């Protein structure tokens, strides 16, 4: 019998995705470059459903029902191109190749265009939720054509996480839209984690609280507005004690944050699109700073303020407010980036739907996403989430705490780039007049770059090196 769908690449993610499909009653063709992984899957989990194993890729393709649906879950990068080429050579017009790896959206656009010429649907699909999500229900962000969505959508929605009966999977948009949205998801994940880390650091330094005490604080926060997967697991990690030394786990981990690159991609794309994603950028740079031990050692003798032990229990609530406000800013920026890309690449993204599919399965899943969805339900063309009345009220209520937290951090010398840049963004966006006017003046002075006037139409230049009179440019 032919399989409903296939998975090639059976490492952690692919294996669990194949099992998820089989557990939902689909007959799943399975293949991996080295056959041993395929055999192991069948040996360990063959009883979970119907698997159709193949040693060769040609046999794998031949084992699929037409139009064929094959999901690639291999290491992102050059390997993906090789597997796509091999698959495409074995396929026919109308067949579908789904790339579930973490591909760059521009690679996905390129691959989609090339395969479209051959009549094959290429569906770049973001999948979030890690190992457990792949098995129990991830958040799935497929791009690609409408036709491919018709054939794949029901299956993907079936195996995705479900929140209140709604699957965490929609057709995101054409070509690279799915991988773009997954990239921004990861960028937001970076900023979420950075803000959590700043909260922990500041409370620990200012109050002298222990990791175990702070675990309790995060557990408490998880019962309110901040209710989310990342806050929940922060409590777990802070509570962990190292078996060997008896020390808090966080104190035995080398303090250099690594990255696989999706945060960097998000910032690079934001620079191209001209969208200030300061929260994600600061988070990415904070990781980069942590990863320079030689500079940190050289700078370790630089003096900081003498102050310590400032603030009492009220700082805990202040930090909670600062975290919530900064998080709203970071998400607002990420959603702006999706809106800008949607315009640039003609994707027609439904931003409210993006908030909906991140409510479950993925790493940034949170109650808070319901509020973002509600904001876009009220106004699909909302220029910024900060202007949504609900969020505006939250920011207003939080801002005194937010400012106090940053003041405290500055006074005791604890870096809070996430909190600080988020507040700077808030203060920048709400200003009626920005010093950008002076920047324009300087640009006109040294480079005759011209400027607009507030009181009349037209483009102007002042003759700075001559009579300093203004002339229409
Ligand atoms: P890895 O990224 O570790 O990749 C290993 C798999 O890729 C193996 O099946 C390997 O085959 C195969 N592979 C590598 N190069 C080639 C090649 N040139 N030709 C054929 N097959 C190749 O696996 P993961 O399961 O961790 O991730 C799979 C994809 O999912 C990646 O793109 C990753 O970025 C993405 N992803 C991962 C998440 C995670 O939490 N791990 C979360 C979301 C997405 P072999 O066994 O023969 O070596």
* ipTM of the prediction: 0.97
Mean pLDDT of 169-191: 98
Q: What is the pTM of this model?
A: 0.96
The DSSP 8-state label assigned to residue 4 in this structure reads S
CA distances from 204 to 236, 257, 308, 313, 421 (A): 16, 19, 11, 12, 21
Residue nearest to atom 40 of ligand 1 (CA): 130
For residue 143, the CA-to-ligand 1 centroid distance in Å is 20
Closest ligand 1 atom, CA of 78? 18
Q: Is 290 annotated as a binding residue?
A: no
Tell me whether strands 139-142 and 121-128 are parallel, antiparallel or unpaired.
antiparallel
Specify the pLDDT at position 307. 73
Atom of ligand 1 nearest to the CA of 128: 43
Is 20 known to sit in a ligand binding site? no
For residues 171-196, average pLDDT: 98
Q: pLDDT tens digits, residue range 205-222?
A: 999 999 999 999 999 999
Instruction: Please state, in angstroms and as integers, the Cα–Cα distance from residue 255 to each residue in 147, 232, 282, 394, following that order.
Output: 47, 21, 17, 33
Q: What separation in Å is there between the alpha carbon of 131 and the centre of ligand 1?
A: 12
Residue nearest atom 13 in ligand 1 by C-alpha distance: 74
Residues with a catalytic annotation lie at 182, 189
Across all residues in the chain, what is the average pLDDT? 97
**82 C-alpha vs ligand 1 centroid, how far in Å?**
13
67: preceding bond cis by omega (within 30 degrees): yes
Q: Is 470 a residue whose pLDDT tops 70?
A: yes
DSSP 319-378: HHHHHHHHHHHHHHHHHHHHHHHHHHHT----HHHHHHHTSSSSTT-BTHHHHHHHHHHH
CA distance 210 to 253: 16
Average pLDDT over residues 423-434: 98
**pLDDT value at 80 more than 70:** yes
**Shortest-distance Cα residue to atom 34 of ligand 1:** 102
Q: What is the pLDDT of residue 308?
A: 67
Distance 74 CA to ligand 1 centre (A): 3
Tokens matching residue 200? 């922990």
Q: How far is the CA of 370 from the centre of ligand 1 (A)?
A: 32
Q: Would you say 443 is a known binding-site residue?
A: yes
**Ligand 1 atom closest to Cα of residue 12:** 25
For residue 409, give the DSSP letter.
Answer: H
Identify the residues whose C-beta falls under 6 Å from ligand 1. 9-14, 32-34, 37, 73-76, 79, 82-83, 101-102, 127-128, 130-131
Cα of 183 from ligand 1 centre, angstroms: 17
Question: Is 462 marked as a binding-site residue?
Answer: no
Q: What does the pLDDT look like over 390-400, one tens digit per residue?
A: 999 999 999 99
Residue whose CA is at the smallest distance from ligand 1 atom 6 = 74
Q: Residue 100 CA: which ligand 1 atom is closest? A: 30
Residue with token string 């640009």: 443
**Atom number, ligand 1, closest to the C-alpha of residue 15:** 25
Q: Is the pLDDT of residue 309 over 70?
A: no
Integer Cα distance of 222 and 235 in angstroms: 9
Probe target for ligand 1 pocket from 11, 108, 126, with the most ligand atoms within 8 Å of CB:
11
Pocket test residue of 6, 9, 104 for ligand 1, highest count of atoms within 8 A of CB = 9
Q: Is 185 annotated as a binding residue?
A: yes
pLDDT (tens digit, 9 = 90+) per residue, 336-348?
999 999 999 999 9
Q: What percentage of the chain carries pLDDT values higher than 70? A: 100
129-150 average pLDDT score: 97
């Amino acid at each position: 019998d032919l399989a409903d769908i296939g998975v090639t690449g059976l490492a952690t993610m692919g294996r669990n995705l194949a099992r998820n499909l089989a557990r939902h009653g689909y007959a799943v063709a399975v293949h991996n470059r080295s056959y041993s992984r395929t055999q192991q899957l069948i040996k360990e989990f063959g009883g979970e459903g119907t698997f159709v194993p193949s040693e060769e890729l040609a046999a794998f393709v031949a084992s699929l029902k037409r139009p064929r649906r094959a999901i690639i879950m291999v290491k992102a990068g050059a390997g993906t191109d090789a597997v796509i080429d091999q698959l495409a050579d074995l396929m026919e017009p109308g067949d579908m190749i789904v790339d579930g790896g973490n591909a760059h959206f521009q690679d996905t656009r390129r691959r989609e265009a090339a395969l479209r010429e051959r009549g094959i649907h290429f569906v770049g699909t973001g999948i979030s939720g890690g190992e457990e999500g792949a098995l129990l229900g991830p958040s799935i962000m497929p791009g690609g054509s409408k036709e491919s969505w018709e054939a794949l959508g029901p299956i993907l929605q079936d195996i995705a996480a479900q929140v209140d009966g709604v699957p965490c999977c929609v057709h995101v948009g054409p070509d690279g839209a799915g991988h773009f949205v997954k990239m921004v998801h990861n960028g937001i994940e970076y900023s979420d984690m950075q803000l959590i880390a700043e909260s922990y650091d500041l409370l620990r330094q200012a109050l002298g609280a222990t990791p175990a005490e702070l675990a309790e604080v995060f557990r408490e926060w998880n019962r309110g507005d901040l209710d989310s997967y990342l806050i929940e697991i922060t409590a777990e990690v802070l509570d962990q004690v190292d078996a060997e030394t008896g020390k808090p786990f966080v104190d035995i981990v080398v303090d250099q944050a690594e990255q696989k690159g999706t945060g960097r991609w998000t910032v690079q794309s934001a620079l191209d699109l001209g969208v200030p994603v300061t929260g994600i950028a600061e988070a990415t740079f904070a990781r980069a700073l942590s990863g320079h031990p030689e500079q940190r050692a050289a700078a370790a003798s630089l003096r900081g303020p003498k102050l310590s032990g400032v603030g009492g229990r009220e700082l805990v609530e202040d930090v909670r407010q600062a975290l919530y406000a900064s998080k709203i800013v970071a998400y607002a920026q990420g959603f702006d980036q999706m809106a800008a890309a949607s315009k640039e690449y003609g994707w027609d993204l439904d931003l409210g739907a993006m908030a909906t599919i991140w409510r479950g399965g993925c790493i940034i899943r949170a109650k808070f996403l319901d509020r973002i969805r509600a904001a876009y339900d009220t106004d699909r063309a909302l220029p910024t989430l900060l202007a949504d009345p609900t969020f505006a009220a939250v920011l207003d209520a939080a801002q005194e705490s937010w400012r106090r937290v940053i003041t405290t951090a500055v006074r005791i010398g604890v870096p809070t780039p996430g909190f600080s840049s988020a507040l700077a963004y808030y203060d920048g966006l709400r200003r009626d007049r920005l010093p950008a006017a002076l920047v324009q003046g300087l640009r006109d002075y040294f480079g005759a770059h011209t400027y607009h006037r507030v009181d009349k139409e037209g483009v102007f230049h002042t003759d700075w090196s001559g009579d300093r009179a203004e002339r229409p440019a």
